[in-house]
Amino acid sequence: MAPVSAAVLSRSWLRMSGATAAAHLRGRIEDLRRKRLMIGGTSGLCWGMVAFLGMLLAWVWIDLVLNLPPSLRVTAWLAACATLIVVIVGNYRKAKASSADSVLARQLDSIVRSGGQIQSGLDLASRPLPSGRRPNQPRPQKTTADAELRLAGTAALTSQLADIAVRRAALLADGVLHDAVVPVSPLLKAVAAACGAAFVLFLAVIIGPRMAWTEIKRFFNPYGDHPAWSQYGFDVTPEFASVRYGESLEIEATVAGPSVEQLDLVLVPPSGLRSGSLDDIEPLDVLPMFPESSGAWHASIANITEPFEYFVRVRRARSAAFRVDVITVPEISDVRVEVISPLYTGMAPFRGSVPTQGIEGLPGTEVTFTATSNRPLTGGLLDIISDAGTSTLVRMLPEGALLPNSDPAEILSTGSQSGYAETHSVTGSFVITDNGRVDLTVIDEAGQQSAEAFSVPVRLLQDQSPIVRLLQPRAVSFATPTAMLPVQVAAEDDYGLRRCQLFRSLNDSRHLPMDLPTPEGTPRRFQTSTMLPLAEYGLQPGDEIKLFARVEDNDPNGPDAPIGKGSESGIVTVRIISQEDLERVQQQKAGMEMMMSRYQQAQRRLERLADEMRQVREQLEAAQAADPDSPPTEELRQELQQLAEQMQQEAEAIQQLGDKPLPLELDKQLAPQLQEMAERLRELAEQAAGMSANPNFNPQQAAEQLQQMMDALQREQQRHQDEAMQPLQQLAQVLPLKQNEAEFTQLVLKQRELADRLNSLKNSDEASDPAERARMRELEEEQHRVREQLSDLLDRIEENANSLPDDPKLDKLRQSALEFAQAVRDSQATTEMADAESSLTEFNGGNGHFHSENAAQLLEQFLGQCQAMGGAAGESLPQFNPSLGSSMAQTLNQLVPGMGNGMSGSGMGQAGSGGYSTNMATMNNVGMYGGLPVLDPSSSSSGGSESDMAAGIFSSPFASGQNESGTGFTASQTNPAFGGADWGVPIQYRRQAGRYLQQLAEELEQ
């Protein structure tokens, strides 16, 4: 550093006193000391961290090689910390020694090359005055004047010289930078070393993450279960498990790394019951693991009764230890039940698993539970909780384990197991008396109760009344005085039937019982039948027979014990009519289909003849092509003869169809056409017979003649199609809407009848009499049925209208039908019906009558529009066929009930209940019994079985899906309408479902 100029020194002397210069110099030295201590301490900390990491990594390396015990890993931490402290303290002491005043002053002199001026000035600033006192020290009190004068002169000179030296030293020290005296390079080196050590550590973690993570766990948790690092990686399942007492555990492991030839499963005591590391203790057991094709290893531990830990080991490497806890509280592993029904039911005891819907039984049913647990048991509890909230406890005892000379009461009271052999099952019984549930718990040999209860719902069943149904005759039937009337009864009960009777009444006389045969024993369901020979009763047209069936079950606890509960079927009304009226009913019920069947049969016969003639012609042409001059073969002549015979047979069959026309105007008009067709077929048959009788006929001429016959047959087919089939098809198209007109008329009559009957309840706004309330419920159901029938009728009218062919001649009929249906829908009739139902549900007879009367009046307003729809149906027929239009219109009226059929003279719809049920717009649900000569079952497409015809039963071709008896009800024991027990209805709802289906079937038959 360059010397300070004299001008600078003079100016400094002028500005700075000696005391100020000394303070400034000492402050400068103090700043340098603090910086050196800070740099030295920080450098020492960095070097200490480097030494700490180095020491710890050295121990980690040793642990990787030697698998150090936990105590040495703790020692490694202590050694690393000691190294850290030593390095930090050493560096700090070194920095403190180099920060002394004299050392710093010499460094400053060396930097400015002052020859020791800074150090001298620092010494002068700190030394005492010549008198032995320091500056600012108080002067002694007792001195002589001369002495004081001499002393003052000397001190003044010395002080001035010292001030000059101190000021000189302060100025020299102030001109030196701190970095020149205390450089930061040692700190930078230390930080660089620490960062380098950290980078090396990070690099090691990146290169070997599993190794690094293993050592981190081992050194940060020395006494934890952290196996030493190895080349093998283990994946063990499960890593933690809780098993029930006595159960087994499946363990699976996969090993990553070098190939493994043997893998062991080592079982050790749990951590709370062992001392020392896992590598040093004696294992409980060592089990070999078995390899699988997937590369995994598998082992099974059976009958676990104590908690333990386990790990997987291969050579010196092992996995971490995993704990297995044992659930010692007993658990219910299986529950079996035995249900013994009362003896009269005849039901076999049920033994097995508890049903999903719970336990069900009649009063007195005995239920026995058997519960199995994973631990030895000494007992259990059945807590029977009723729906009313009452609770009853029943003790459960070990199954068959009560030893001789043991007192059960003492064992139950003390809870001791001394009286029992070891068992895992307990049993307990109770009797069903009410609805509720059962909560089952078990108690093991240690007195522990199962944590969770096994809950089972209990349902008390009631022995329902039996169901009986008259399958034949139908609810409304007609029979001739000489018919054999079949009676078929179907009955069912939930637990057994005892008796079946048929009650008969003639013209509302007293009903007389007749026992019907029943199967032996106590059947749950059966069908029985008998025949009533009406000819023996001397009946006349107009008489009326009423029938109903009654059955009784075998319930010994019925209201009139020992007679069981009884049930009766609906009443069947059989009206005796003449043979002529029966034929009219037949005409009304199946006339359209019978007509269609007759003329379709004729059409099929013509088509069959055309096919036969075509085949014979092809044979003639083939023979002529092979040898034109050869005489006909015997085979060809036989073919012609067979064709002639077949044509003659078809002519006779068609002649029979035309000989017995139905009492319908259209059929009377069309029957002569069948006779003409038969005559034309006879002529063609004679021509074919003549050709076959000529042994020398030419095949070519025969083929030409046969072609002429085929042309004549084709013309006959076309004539039949135009003159017979088309009018019938046109009549069939409009007939449904005409029938809908009659149905609506009868529906209006029924609504009016219902409103009139409700008139007797118009003053009953809040009915309280049970009989009156029951009547209102019945009337509410009847009103509901009428509303549903009206909705169904309107749907069918729209469907029938939309199904009409796209023909301008039918547009008026289609439009009138759709407008009528929409008008009825837009009216408030259905709303009034619904309001009537709601009022009757609330037992308000006044409102019920009011709304029902309004509905009747609204429907009556549409009678004219409905008749217009029917009139449009009749008016459309002449437009299709003017020559047959009048006959078609008359036939349309004949095919619809109440439209001029003249059926009024022999008790039809007179006696008995009459009303709606006897005036149905369609007769599909009416049974008819007696000889029916009009219907030819051999030629009808519907017909009936031989047994039916023998009994005089008419099978309706309109009722699709009916059985051969024409009842529309298949007498199958699995049919829902029969109420069978095996058609998928749960037992608790079976009776209600059966009753509902019976009521539904009866409604559909009306």
Q: Exposed, middle or buried by CB within 10 Å (0-12, 13-18, 19+), for 764?
A: buried
φ, ψ (nearest 5 deg) of residue 154: -65, -45
3-state helix, strand, coil in the chain (%, to 5): 50, 20, 30
Measure the CA–CA gap between 567 and 998, rounded to whole angstroms: 13
pLDDT for 176: 66
Question: Could you tell me if 515 and 501 are in contact, meaning their C-beta atoms sit under 8 angstroms apart?
Answer: yes
Question: Could you tell me if 894 and 665 are in contact, meaning their C-beta atoms sit under 8 angstroms apart?
Answer: yes
List the chain residues with pLDDT less than 70.
1-18, 21, 107, 110, 112, 115-163, 165-166, 168-171, 173-181, 400-421, 560-561, 586-590, 628-632, 697, 767-768, 879-880, 897-925, 931-1006
Q: Please name every residue paired with 987 in a beta bridge, in sequence order, or none if there are none.
A: none
pLDDT for 939: 37
φ, ψ (nearest 5 deg) of residue 681: -65, -35
pLDDT digits (tens, 9 = 90+) for 133-172: 444 455 555 455 555 555 555 556 566 666 676 676 666 7
pLDDT for 974: 35
pLDDT for 121: 66
pLDDT for 251: 92
Give how far Cα 153 sits from Cα of 129, 142, 147, 717, Å: 12, 18, 10, 172
CA angle 744, 571, 525 (to 5 degrees): 115
528: helix, strand or coil: strand
| Contacts of residue 66, Cβ cutoff 8 Å, sequence gap at least 6 | none
pTM summary value: 0.45
Cis peptide before 473 (omega within 30 of 0): yes
pLDDT for 587: 64
What would the DSSP string read from start to end of 432-495? --SSEEEEEEEEETTSPBPSS-EEEEEEE---PPPEEEEEES-SEEEE-TT-EEEEEEEEE-SS
Size of the chain, expressed as the number of residues it contains: 1006
For residue 183, which of 24, 1, 32 has the smallest C-alpha distance? 32
pLDDT for 219: 83
pLDDT for 384: 92
pLDDT for 159: 65
pLDDT for 719: 87
pLDDT for 259: 84
CA angle 909, 910, 911 (to 5 degrees): 115
Measure the CA–CA gap between 213 and 206, rounded to whole angstroms: 11
Q: Please name every residue paired with 298 in a beta bridge, in sequence order, or none if there are none.
A: 252, 290
pLDDT for 131: 43
Q: What are the start-end ranges of the E strands in 48-120? A: none
253: helix, strand or coil: strand
129: helix, strand or coil: coil
377-386 and 366-373 strand pairing: unpaired
Residue 511: count other Cβ atoms within 10 Å of its Cβ: 16
What would the DSSP string read from start to end of 670-736? HHHHHHHHHHHHHHHHHHHHHHHH-TT--HHHHHHHHHHHHHHHHHHHHHHIIIIIHHHHHHHHHHH
315: helix, strand or coil: coil
pLDDT digits (tens, 9 = 90+) for 318-364: 888 889 988 778 888 899 999 999 888 888 899 999 998 899 999 98
pLDDT for 371: 93
Within 13 Å, how many C-alpha atoms sit on residue 877's CB side? 27
